[in-house]
Amino acid sequence: MLLKEYRICMPLTVDEYKIGQLYMISKHSHEQSDRGEGVEVVQNEPFEDPHHGNGQFTEKRVYLNSKLPSWARAVVPKIFYVTEKAWNYYPYTITEYTCSFLPKFSIHIETKYEDNKGSNNSIFDNEAKDLEREVCFIDIACDEIPERYYKESEDPKHFKSEKTGRGQLREGWRDSHQPIMCSYKLVTVKFEVWGLQTRVEQFVHKVVRDILLIGHRQAFAWVDEWYDMTMDEVREFERATQEATNKKIGVFPPAISISSMPLLPSSVRSAPSSAPSTPLSTDAPEFLSLPKDRPRKKSAPETLTLPDPEKKATLNLPVTHSSDKPCRPKSE
């Protein structure tokens, strides 16, 4: 198990980000989906937890075989997906990822949001006080993202919001910008396979970090699209986008109902207990690299030499007796 705490600051308030997060997730999922590939929404409904209160439960299946790097496609079956289950009790959420192909692989993310610049060093102490973890700050303006995901219109160094006047963030912006909030994510990655565990868990954290960076950049770059929305409006946008996304990838489940669903009793489905929160590179980990050319064995000769017929006399041929006459064709 590898545990890391990520802190991502945003030039928003916690209340503003509640709308922006829902909008960003829906739009991003729709953009990244295509026929047979993408995010299928299985469930999205109100949920009540005895400890955290009212929230929203979402279950998704992420089909992404063609999105994988070539080295991964070679070992992963075509029909495979990642299941995402999320319990949203904003400003506290729990998200779990499991894989249909790797039963011993999982990601557990616990998230909390606060109006500060990432300065709360004990925000997860009650849940993970005995677990050692590395704290990683993610800067949406200055950290590099994979080149294939870069868009100038989504670069906080260049983007300036017309509705809020915020933007064109410069290095050190977190020390002086107002408003500012922080998304604290405690991410636990497990891959319980002997000999591969450490390398795979490190690789997954690298992937998760890039995903967090890209998603939060988009949430801010799209602020003028969602800033004036109410919660009811963003939920309707979420519902319509989810239905369109399911059709886009070729899935036609029953219509998704969000606001009209009654609250489910906690005994029907219990949320996971509180636990840790969640990094994209296509480079193959070392353990999956192609083997080097092996030296050729010398147990056999490199070439085979046939005897020269003209030198028969020098060979130890068997003696032919006079009685062993060759067969000849009859004369006409």
Q: What is the CATH number of the domain that holds 150?
A: 3.30.530.20
Confidence of residue 33 (pLDDT cuts 50, 70, 90): confident
Structural domain includes residue 105: yes
Q: What is the pLDDT of residues 275-311, one digit of tens each?
A: 433 334 444 444 444 444 445 444 444 444 545 555 5
Structural domain includes residue 291: no
How far apart (Å, rounded) are the C-alpha atoms in residues 12 and 321? 106
Q: Is the pTM of this model over 0.95?
A: no
Structural domain includes residue 295: no
How far apart (Å, rounded) are the C-alpha atoms in residues 67 and 90? 30
As a whole number, mean pLDDT of residues 10-23 equals 96
Side-chain half-sphere CA neighbours of 206 within 13 A: 13
**Strands 134-138 vs 2-10: parallel, antiparallel or unpaired:** parallel
- For 205, the 3-state DSSP assignment is helix
Residue among 138, 50, 60 at smallest CA distance from 96: 60
Confidence of residue 197 (pLDDT cuts 50, 70, 90): confident
Structural domain includes residue 303: no
Structural domain includes residue 285: no
Structural domain includes residue 169: yes
Has residue 16 got a pLDDT over 50?
A: yes
Q: Order of strands across the sheet with 38-49?
A: 38-49, 53-63, 81-89, 92-99, 105-114, 181-191, 2-10, 134-138
Number of domains in the chain: 1
Residue among 197, 238, 228 at smallest CA distance from 56: 238
Residue among 253, 108, 76 at smallest CA distance from 189: 108
Q: What is the pLDDT of residue 64?
A: 64
Structural domain includes residue 302: no
Structural domain includes residue 34: yes
What one-character DSSP code corresponds to residue 153?
Answer: G
Domain extent, residue 56, equals: 2-245
